[in-house]
């Protein structure tokens, strides 16, 4: 077993040693990045919003015309792989062996990996993302596909300049999201986050954060915002399954401090997770 997984890898539900877990080089998931995936958070008491993640996976697969035949079986594989372990539960759906018939002889891979040693804050570079859907509609809009090359390249580009990651910008300098996270910020006590109409990923953490903000009685503004609103914010934070809610301490050459509203949202998110999994 390698240190990348906590338990076995389930390959179409079959428990497989990590070293033996393999996908064919002829699978269009490997050859074309044709497939979809999810990352969920497994806590000691269960998987946070497992059904929300499976709903999103089903939507992704439907965009790719891959039929997820047995939702209940898939759900049980997730529960089996998580088994009360703490970490990131990964699910990958490959495109299969025939580009003319997506999903044919495909593999669904499920495994739990240790949560990464989380930094306590992130520094973001502002990068244009001309490849992002950015409000435009295509066959795969909204799908969390295996084709994450441009996202990874943006992270690597930001890191090559001394940042931790990127904040992606659409046309006209509109703020979108990070390569693997959603963005939020605070100005004069109001919480801002880009609209899903920009075709950013429908993030489970962003959705939960908006619920927490409502509970806390915070004013929230969801819309289309220019990069200057991000660089002039009092606080900036990222939201994702892996990072939960994490403060941003730099946006380009602007330095920031982790702020009180981010702290409240973070604590509120933790409470929500505890409540839901109780």
Ligand X SMILES: Cc1ncc(COP(=O)(O)O)c(C=O)c1O
Residues that bind ligand X (CB under 6 A): 39, 177, 180-182, 200-201, 203-206, 239-241
Which residues is 247 bridged to in the sheet? 237
Apex 177 CA angle, 128 and 39, nearest 5:
130
Q: 99 with 32: CB under 8 angstroms?
A: yes
Residue 37 host element (H or E): strand 35-43
| Least gap, CB of 181 to ligand X (angstroms) | 5
Neighbours of 142 (CB within 10 A): 18
* Cβ-based nearer residue to ligand X, 55 or 105: 55
* Cβ-based nearer residue to ligand X, 107 or 129: 129
* Cβ-based nearer residue to ligand X, 8 or 91: 91
* Cβ-based nearer residue to ligand X, 52 or 85: 52
* Cβ-based nearer residue to ligand X, 106 or 145: 145
| Least gap, CB of 275 to ligand X (angstroms) | 18
Q: 248 with 124: CB under 8 angstroms?
A: yes
| Least gap, CB of 19 to ligand X (angstroms) | 26
| Least gap, CB of 244 to ligand X (angstroms) | 9
Q: What are the strands, taking DSSP E only, across 119-268?
A: 122-128, 165-169, 182-187, 190-194, 220-223, 235-240, 244-251, 254-255
- Taking alpha carbons only, the member of 187, 189, 172 closest to residue 227 is 172
| Least gap, CB of 206 to ligand X (angstroms) | 6
- Taking alpha carbons only, the member of 204, 208, 252, 211 closest to residue 232 is 252
| Least gap, CB of 239 to ligand X (angstroms) | 6
* Cβ-based nearer residue to ligand X, 5 or 205: 205
- Taking alpha carbons only, the member of 229, 235, 249, 256 closest to residue 163 is 249
């Amino acid at each position: 077993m390698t240190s990348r997984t906590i338990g076995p890898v389930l390959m179409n539900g079959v428990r497989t040693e990590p070293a033996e877990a393999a996908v064919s080089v002829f699978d269009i998931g490997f050859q074309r990045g044709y497939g979809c995936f999810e990352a969920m958070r497994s806590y000691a008491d269960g998987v946070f919003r497992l059904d929300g993640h499976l709903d999103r996976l089903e939507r992704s697969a439907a965009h790719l015309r891959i039929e997820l035949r047995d939702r209940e079986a898939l759900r049980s594989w997730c529960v089996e792989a998580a088994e009360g372990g703490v970490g990131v539960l990964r699910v990958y759906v490959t495109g299969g062996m025939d580009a003319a018939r997506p999903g044919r002889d495909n593999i669904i891979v499920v495994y739990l990996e240790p949560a990464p040693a989380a930094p306590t804050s992130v520094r973001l570079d502002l990068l244009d993302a001309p490849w992002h859907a950015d409000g435009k509609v295509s066959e795969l809009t909204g799908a969390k596909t295996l084709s994450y090359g441009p996202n990874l390249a943006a992270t690597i580009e930001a890191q090559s300049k001394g940042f931790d990651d990127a904040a992606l910008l659409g046309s006209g300098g509109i703020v979108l999201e990070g390569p693997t996270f959603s963005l939020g910020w605070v100005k004069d006590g109001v919480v801002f986050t880009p609209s899903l109409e920009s075709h950013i990923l429908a993030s489970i953490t962003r959705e939960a954060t908006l619920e927490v903000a409502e509970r806390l009685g915070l004013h929230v503004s969801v819309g289309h915002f220019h990069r200057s609103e991000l660089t002039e914010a009092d606080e900036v934070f990222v939201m994702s399954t892996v990072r939960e809610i994490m403060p941003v301490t730099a946006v380009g050459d602007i330095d920031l401090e982790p702020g009180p509203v981010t702290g409240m949202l973070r604590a509120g998110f933790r409470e929500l997770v505890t409540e839901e999994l109780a």
